[in-house]
Amino acid sequence: MTLHEAAEIFGYWAQNPPAHLMVQIIARALGWTPAIASPGAGDRDIAASAPPGLAVSAGGIDMPPPQFDPDAMQRRNRERAVAIARRNARSADAATPAALPQTARPA
């Protein structure tokens, strides 16, 4: 962001202040004060904590061991492809006009 762009933004904010700042000004005028910030966590606490977005479990996650056998992976993928093809064939058979009732068949 250039200084010119920053000046444009600040100029816009001077004419149209963000809503959260307006709410804060009104609240302080009515006597509200923000909570006193507690002392921040130490460096060791931050380093020991999990990074944001990482799910941490106290117990095991009961995942199967990783499988890096290419032959087994290909075999499993072929089995999945056959199962999908069979499922698609069944749904295609159900959608054919022969499967429709006699009154619903197109002329």
Question: DSSP letter at 101?
Answer: -
| Per-residue tens of pLDDT for the chain, all 107 residues | 899 999 999 999 889 888 988 898 899 999 988 887 666 666 777 777 777 777 666 666 677 777 788 898 899 999 999 999 999 988 877 776 655 556 555 55
Please state whether 89 falls in left (phi above 0), alpha (psi between -120 and 50) or beta.
Answer: alpha
What pLDDT shows up at residue 8? Answer: 93
What pLDDT shows up at residue 5? Answer: 92
Residue 30, judged by CB atoms within 10 A of its CB (0-12, 13-18, 19+), counts as: exposed
What pLDDT shows up at residue 92? Answer: 78
Query: Rg of the chain over CA atoms, in angstroms?
Result: 32
What pLDDT shows up at residue 93? Answer: 77
Alpha helices in 30-101 (DSSP H): 43-48, 70-94
What pLDDT shows up at residue 34? Answer: 81
Name residue 12's amino acid.
Y
What pLDDT shows up at residue 69? Answer: 86
